[in-house]
Amino acid sequence: MKTLFIFLFVIKLISAKPTSIVLWHGMGDTCCVSFSLGGFKLFLEKAIPGVYVDSLQIGNSTIEDLENGYFLNPNTQVEKVCKYLAEHPKLKDGFNAIGFSQGSQFMRAVVQRCGHTLPTIKNLISMGGQHQGVYGLPHCGALMHPTCDYIRQLLNYAAYDTWVQHALVQATYWHDPLDEETYIHKTIFLPDINNEVFVNKTYIQNLNNLEHFVLVKFDNDTIVQPRETEWFGFYEPGQSKKMLPMQETRVYKEDRLGLKKMEKEGKLVLISTEGDHLRFSDKWFIENIIKPYLLN
Ligand SMILES: *[C@@H]1O[C@H](CO)[C@@H](O)[C@H](O)[C@H]1NC(C)=O
Ligand SMILES: *[C@@H]1O[C@H](CO)[C@@H](O)[C@H](O)[C@H]1NC(C)=O
Ligand SMILES: *[C@@H]1O[C@H](CO)[C@@H](O)[C@H](O)[C@H]1NC(C)=O
């Protein structure tokens, strides 16, 4: 009897291929170089034997991938990724999705806009994403990229100009709490994804189809402002000091994304970790993300 159980267990081990994983990198980063997401992909492959990991490259080369993170309209990026994922032979049985920084809100857009046309997306993990947008780019230094400083200046005075919206990715999730109306009506990406312009029920349905939507906040984040946006919190409208937790924001209170239901069903998971933007240890990731969400 015991032998039989051991045998069945081994069979299960052999036959159960772990769920594939798709990664979307952040601003100033690329899919595949070894010291960034390329290295993270190798880490996942080692931690979850047999797993297939696809780190999305937006564009046809590393340089394009880097540039597109600043300059390619996220609506176009999301559309391209939707098409790519739908046709991907290795994702046919479903997958888990992990977004890093702005890649988190772009991955959420993929889930909401085309989840119903894709294989099952089981869990969406947001690592330091900006789900209510940003108001400030306080610390470009850590990115070591001159473009960042240029962008900061441009955003501070022209984020909602039409040409900036179409030229600069970061403007499409720029959220000025002193001018909510302009934010909602001039920003070409985030207000749509947050159902702030009108409510698209498909977005709610697709998001709710996830098993879990995990939001990781970096408590000592010096790049994202305000860092509460990583948990769907934001400034109270009309000023830029007082912070509202997710439950007090318009998106939640008016139930524009179905977050209340997800929270009640235990699908919405808010976790935080000490450290600056996207700084976490392998051990932390194994315990808090891999074991609970990526092993089946
Ligand atoms: C990659 O190249 C193909 C064919 O040359 C082109 O159609 C496509 O737009 C390019 N992708 C991006 C994101 O630039
Ligand atoms: C709502 O979202 C779905 C999925 O992306 C899209 O096909 C549909 O056109 C949207 N509805 C409206 C009214 O924009
Ligand atoms: C992170 O910030 C908290 C206070 O918010 C502080 O107590 C802690 O020492 C900081 N940790 C690191 C690693 O900087």
Query: Residue 277 carries which side chain, given as an amino acid letter?
Result: H
Active site residue 101: yes
Active site residue 34: no
Q: Residue 206 in contact with residue 115, Cβ under 8 Å?
A: yes
Q: Which residue's CA is the closest to the ligand 2 atom numbered 1?
A: 200
Q: What is the mean pLDDT of residues 217-234?
A: 95
The tokens for 133 are: 């947008």
H/E element, 149 = helix 146-158
Q: Is the pLDDT of residue 245 over 50?
A: yes
The answer, yes or no, to whether any atom of ligand 3 lies below 6 A from the CB of 248, is no
pLDDT, mean over the chain: 91
Angle separating helix axes 201-208 and 102-114, nearest 10 degrees: 110
At 199 the pLDDT is: 98
Q: Which listed ligand is nearest to 76 at the C-alpha? A: 1
Active site residue 54: no
Which carries the bigger pLDDT value, residue 138 or residue 115?
A: 115
215: CATH: 3.40.50.1820
Q: Residue 137 in contact with residue 147, Cβ under 8 Å?
A: no
The tokens for 150 are: 């240029």
DSSP character at residue 134? B
257 lies in some domain: yes
Which residues are near ligand 2 (CB < 6 Å)? 113, 200, 202
Cα–Cα distance, 85 to 79 (Å, whole number): 10
The answer, yes or no, to whether any atom of ligand 1 lies below 6 A from the CB of 67, is no
At 142 the pLDDT is: 53
Q: Which listed ligand is nearest to 81 at the C-alpha? A: 1
145 lies in some domain: no
Residue 237: alpha-carbon gap to chain centroid:
24
Q: Which listed ligand is nearest to 277 at the C-alpha? A: 3
160 lies in some domain: no
Q: Encode pLDDT of 207-224 as tens digits.
A: 999 999 999 999 999 889
Q: Is the pLDDT of residue 14 over 70?
A: no
230 lies in some domain: yes
212 lies in some domain: yes
The answer, yes or no, to whether any atom of ligand 3 lies below 6 A from the CB of 274, is yes
| Dihedral pair phi/psi, residue 247, rounded to 5° | -65, -15
Angle separating helix axes 102-114 and 74-86, nearest 10 degrees: 60
Domain that holds residue 35: 19-132+198-294
Q: What is the mean pLDDT of residues 187-203?
A: 98
DSSP secondary structure of 184-199: HHH-SSHHHHTT-SS-
Number of independent structural domains in the chain: 1
The answer, yes or no, to whether any atom of ligand 1 lies below 6 A from the CB of 73, is no
Q: Residue 112 in contact with residue 203, Cβ under 8 Å?
A: yes
How many angstroms does the Cα of residue 229 sit away from the middle of ligand 3? 18
Q: Which residue from 88, 71, 138, 131 is spatially nearest to 107, judged by alpha carbons?
A: 131
144 lies in some domain: no
Of the residues 220, 273, 277, 280, which should be mutated to test ligand 3's pocket, given the most ligand atoms within 8 Å of the CB? 220
288 lies in some domain: yes
Determine which one of 101, 126, 176, 192 is catalytic.
101
Q: Which residue from 43, 41, 45, 47 is spatially nearest to 29, judged by alpha carbons?
A: 41
